Amino acid sequence: MPRRRPGAVRAQRALPLHRYTAAGRCRYAEPPRPWPTRIDRLSSRTVAAVHREECRRPYDEGLWPGATRTALRTCRSFLALPGRWLYLRRDYCACESCDLRNDIAVARDLLELVARRLAPWPRRELRALLAGLDEELWRRTVPDPFAHTWPHRGGAWWHQRLYDLDHLL
């Protein structure tokens, strides 16, 4: 039997895994990446603990290697937007990667999940980082006075902020 060239084997292994939505192929879907070697403003000890926790859980629980890094990047990019007031945005794509990159409430939920599952020392460091992000998020977003009427908007305080619905029209 003929042997396949090493380049062909590597090319086949590097093919992207696409997730499909009702509108077609998702433009944000990426192949799974190896765990991040660095997360901004966290020590290597905490990054290692986060990675262990991400790899320990099944994918069905909404946690995968690199999800914490993506969620922190989403929070930081959202808070870096110009303007005094920010309105949360919801994307109606069905894949988790789009939700995590576009909806800061989903990203903050994932960060809270990771923080609850960490050991005390890494949890303290991650919560200290989240405290600054939460303060900025609280200051720059507007509370929704009718959030209690939506059953899916219960839970943490970041779900009770106003969403921008203009981009969906």
Q: How confident is the model at residue 3 (pLDDT cuts 50, 70, 90)?
A: confident
| pLDDT tens, position by position, 36-69 | 668 999 999 999 999 989 888 777 677 888 889 9
Name 156's Cβ contacts closer than 8 Å, sequence gap at least 6: 108, 109, 112
How large is the C-alpha radius of gyration of the chain?
Answer: 18
Residue-wise pLDDT tens digits, 142-169 = 998 888 887 777 688 998 888 887 654 5
DSSP string for 121-169:
HHHHHHHHHHHHHHHHHHHHB-B-TTGGG-GGG-SSGGGGBPB--GGG-
